[in-house]
Structure 1
Amino acid sequence: MKRLMIADGSDVVRKVGRKILSELGFQVADASTGREALVLCERELPDFLIVDAAMDDALDLISNVRALPNGKDVRIYYCVIEAELKVMMAGKRAGANDFLLKPFDRQILTATFGDKAMAA
């Protein structure tokens, strides 16, 4: 089972994301701050990490995860409210692989992650 972590300051976003992604077959962890997420990643790296761009320490979280042993193997999705080039490029420079538009829903998460939960 693939591991996925949601790092987002919103309790609602984490709860909804956890429910949907668990139903898709992921083992889901969540964190409300970048610091909390980094501590969890230091214990056990997820296969996928969703990072909310609105968190104060979002970019630090991405670069710190990349610096961990095997951190380059984590697929990081930078979650943005709108497709603003400046914000997206900052995420990309920090080490994000891809982007998710927020608010996400079941359809978006299924389209993005549906075929990845059980993939070897």
Structure 2
Amino acid sequence: MTKALTKILYVEDEPDIREIAQLVLENVGGFEVKAVDSGHKALDIINEFTPDLVLLDAMMPEMDGMTTFKEIRKLESFAQTPIAFLTAKLMDDDIKGFLSLGAIGVIAKPFDPMMLSDQIMELWEETQG
């Protein structure tokens, strides 16, 4: 039986994008979303929030998405948690880099707000197969 996706930790430094994504994921997707503006904040709250999935922006100041990904993987409780990137970095090499880290997928920015929840569910279902 597949585990239901209910809680998403979203890490995005751009306030407008963070707000829109959180709004649609909660209101269209019905997910419980914790949105933070940095990798450091994500690491501070991940144990308390215990997300089913982490959605990361790739380009952020201080700690970028790839570094945040690696830091989350060091936490025993989240070593297997599905992580996807929501990013404008969409060159083939970028995408290969994210997938080689172990990301379950890459969603392009700018994203279609009405499609975002479906895109995340598709990635989730692939991990549950």
TM-score by length of 2: 0.78
- Secondary structure class of the residue paired with 1:70: helix
* 1:82 to partner: Cα distance: 4.6
Q: Are 1:71 and 2:71 an aligned pair?
A: no
Q: CA RMSD in A?
A: 2.1
* 1:101 to partner: Cα distance: 0.3
- Secondary structure class of the residue paired with 1:104: coil
The answer for the alignment partner of 1:92 in structure 2 is 99
- Size of the alignment, in residue pairs? 117
Q: Which amino acid aligns with 1:78?
A: F
- Alpha carbons 1:8, 1:51 under 8 Å: kept: yes
Q: Could you give the per-residue CA deviations for residues 5-24 of structure 1, whole angstroms, max 9, x where no partner exists?
A: 11011101111111101111
TM-score by length of 1: 0.83
Q: Which runs of 5+ in 1 are unaligned?
A: none
The answer for the alignment partner of 2:66 in structure 1 is 59
The answer for the alignment partner of 1:11 in structure 2 is 15
Q: How far apart in 1 are the matches of 2:109 and 2:14?
A: 12
- Secondary structure class of the residue paired with 2:21: helix
Q: Could you give the per-residue CA deviations for residues 29-80 of structure 1, whole angstroms, max 9, x where no partner exists?
A: 0111111111111333211111111114211110111121231332111122
Q: Which runs of 5+ in 2 are unaligned?
A: 125-129
